A = this chain, B = another copy of it.
Amino acid sequence: MNIGEISGKSGLPAKTIRYYEDIGLITPQRSENGYRRFSDTDLHKLTFLGRARALGFSIEDCRTLMAMYEDESRASSDVKLVATEHLNRIDEKIAQLQSMRSTLSHLVSECAGDNRPDCPILNDLACGKS
């Protein structure tokens, strides 16, 4: 498989696949013409990476998870720890965004949104008062 084909099958852009090789997540072989030649194992790894990234895991987490996946002797508790930490980070981000959302939606609802210049959103940003 050349990069275009595996890009289609894995759903990852060619740029991303080259990047993953650069940082050592995959190590495809090379054909005589210098083209990357991907195996089914590579496809499997890229699919794994795509799914992990879709769940928001960082590249370094992905590296760890892939290593665990290939290490038959790791304990499931190790995997669970990585996933739980990531889950906590997600919860923190959600809380942060919801806090923003709460303040902002309050301000938006207070703003008349008409042709007059007076605006509680700007007033709040300027003075901390809504």
Contact = CB atoms under 8 A, between A and B. Distances in A.
A56 B97 contact: yes
Interface stretch (A1-9, A16-24, A26-34, A99-107): A99-107
B56 A83 contact: no
Nearest to A86: B104
Interface in A78-130: 79-81, 83-84, 86-87, 90-91, 93-94, 97-98, 100-101, 103-105, 107-108, 111-119, 121-122, 124-126, 128
Question: Is chain A's interface secondary structure helix, strand, loop, or mixed overall?
Answer: helix
Given A90-B97, A100-B90, A73 B125 contact: no
B55 A111 contact: no
Contact of A117 (B48, B76, B108, B116): B76
Contacts of A117: 72-76
B100 A69 contact: no
A65 interface: yes
A115 B79 CA distance: 11
A2 B110 CA distance: 37
Contacts of A47: 126, 128
5 contacts: A44-B126, A55-B100, A56-B100, A77-B114, A87-B104
